[in-house]
Amino acid sequence: MFIPESCKLFSPPFLHTPMLYLSSFPRFLSLKRVLPFISLKKLSFTPNKLYLSAKMEPQSSTTLVLCGKSAIEDDIARRLKKNAAIKLPDDSPVTVVLLSEIDNRGGVCNDDVFRVGSYMNSLSTSNFGKLLVYSPKLSSTHDVVSHNFAELPTGSVCVADVQLKGRGRSKNVWESPKGCLLFSFTIQMEDGRIVPLVQYVVSLAMTEAVKDVCRRNGLPSLDVRIKWPNDLYLDGLKVGGILCTSTYKSKKFNVSAGIGLNVNNQQPTICLNSVLRKMGHVNVAPQLQREDIIAAFFNKFESYYDIFISQGFQALEELYYKTWLHSGQQVIVQEKNEDDKQISENVVTIQGLTESGYLLAVTESGQICELHPDGNSFDFFKGLVRRKLA
């Protein structure tokens, strides 16, 4: 999964211009040891779990396992393997394996491994998430889907157990440890005016997916909230983040959307399961599983996305504002005087989002304005600048 080095929210939606949307991502601690690349001979599968044998050897080739929800996606997976169609951005060696080819003799169970069968059984979408590209260890799920966008059908998803190169602004790089839900998927859109808003649909779908999984498992609801533009917070601490990037080709916008969510890793902040334990559910079974959350996410996202495309983001705003942290929040904005030599600071109150996806606010004098990040601060509520709206 890739994190943009630029901290600009998004460029104006001019056609023919590649666009990069701001995103942030959980600041995971680096691991001294991570899951090594695995050999096909060392990988086993049962209907609900992939297994790793106890003996694993490092390899230079990245292993990608392809699996489909139905016969249609399985056929696509076979063609992708046959044509050696999936590449990595750095052209490093890649071994593509069909799930049906994996040794079924069993092995040592490793709960850190993504359970493909469980995910597919919980998925009920028509388009999204039905073709899966899975890897135990990957540099970036975002790089896989964005680099292979033309080869993968719309809605394809790439999942990794461990991610090595989540890149951020100022050339920061993170290793995302075991226990995180790490995935990226593809969306194709035609209307460039609404592309910047799709990141908010993604954020909303994830918060509602977590609530849905908690409810179905008889667990207390976890109130995951959205910090604009696309951080996910729980109990005042960051537990996840969203990334959306887009390129324009053949009169369509190719959007790669990525999510990182702390599900079962307690460092460096908190995770969903640690909060459940603090709530007194120490031995609760089952705890939240990555496979259930990602399946619930796609089930929610597909529904919200259809509404978004047919009715606009306005149809989702009421639910979105119930989930985000900022309604009525007062922030300090900076504004240069006409001589551009002095900067004044003013307090404004956030009211919602503008049609272009920026923050809508009102000044103390009642003037409506649009807030933009200045591009210089990691915290986007520091150094906000405003633009007056007619």
Statement to judge: residues 103 and 237 lie in one domain = yes
Whether 4 is covered by a domain: the verdict is no
Q: Which two tokens stand for residue 338?
A: 């006409």
Q: Which pLDDT band, with edges at 50, 70 and 90, does 375 fall under?
A: low
How many domains does the chain contain in total? 2
Of 322, 340, 362, which closes a domain?
322
Statement to judge: residues 255 and 362 lie in one domain = no
- 305 in helix, strand or coil? helix
Closest CA to 160 of 146, 145, 180: 180
The answer to whether residue 31 scores a pLDDT higher than 50 is no
Pairing of strands 330-336, 384-388: parallel
Statement to judge: residues 306 and 208 lie in one domain = yes
Statement to judge: residues 155 and 219 lie in one domain = yes
254: which residues sit within 8 A by CB, 6+ positions away?
146, 149, 186, 188, 246, 247, 248
Rounded to whole angstroms, the Cα distance separating 314 from 135 reads 37
Q: Which two tokens stand for residue 113?
A: 């491994």
Q: For 112-263, list the strands marked E by DSSP.
A: 131-138, 157-167, 173-176, 180-189, 225-227, 231-234, 237-249, 252-262
pLDDT in tens, 60-77: 789 999 999 999 999 999
Whether the full predicted model's pTM is greater than 0.85, yes or no, is: no
Burial of 130 per CB tally in 10 Å (0-12, 13-18, 19+): buried
* Mean pLDDT rounded to a whole number for the chain: 81
- 316 in helix, strand or coil? helix
Whether 143 is covered by a domain: the verdict is yes
Could you tell me which residue, 167 or 177, shows the higher pLDDT? Answer: 177
Q: Is the dihedral of CA 324, 127, 264, 20 positive or negative?
A: negative
Whether 363 is covered by a domain: the verdict is yes
The pLDDT value recorded for residue 349 is 95
Statement to judge: residues 217 and 340 lie in one domain = no
Q: Which two tokens stand for residue 178?
A: 């075991």
Asked if residue 213 lies in contact with residue 205, where contact means CB atoms within 8 angstroms, the answer is no
Q: Which pLDDT band, with edges at 50, 70 and 90, does 246 fall under?
A: very high
Domain enclosing residue 207, as ranges:
62-322
The answer to whether residue 295 scores a pLDDT higher than 80 is yes
Q: Which pLDDT band, with edges at 50, 70 and 90, does 195 fall under?
A: very high
